[in-house]
Amino acid sequence: MSRDYISKQGEVDRELVMRFLSQLNDILHLAYYSTPPHISSKTLIKRAKEITASLLSMLEA
């Protein structure tokens, strides 16, 4: 896994991480509404979306 999001000083490149999380959120949104209604997979996708949204809000603070 690439560590391009961590600077030499050990600081996280917040902009890059936010872009990754935003893209992940978009993908999860598409997956949630395009998959057949399997409750377990929808529940997992919903939880992943909640976690992603929480991470995005923490980074924006």
Predicted pLDDT at 39: 63
Predicted pLDDT at 2: 45
Rounded CA gap, 32 and 23, in Å? 14
Query: What's the pTM value of the predicted model, to 2 decimals?
Result: 0.54
Rounded CA gap, 24 and 1, in Å? 16
Rounded CA gap, 33 and 27, in Å? 10
Q: Please write the tens of the pLDDT for every residue from 9-52.
A: 667 778 878 888 888 888 878 777 776 766 667 777 888 888 88
CA quadruple 9, 23, 55, 35: dihedral, nearest 10: -150
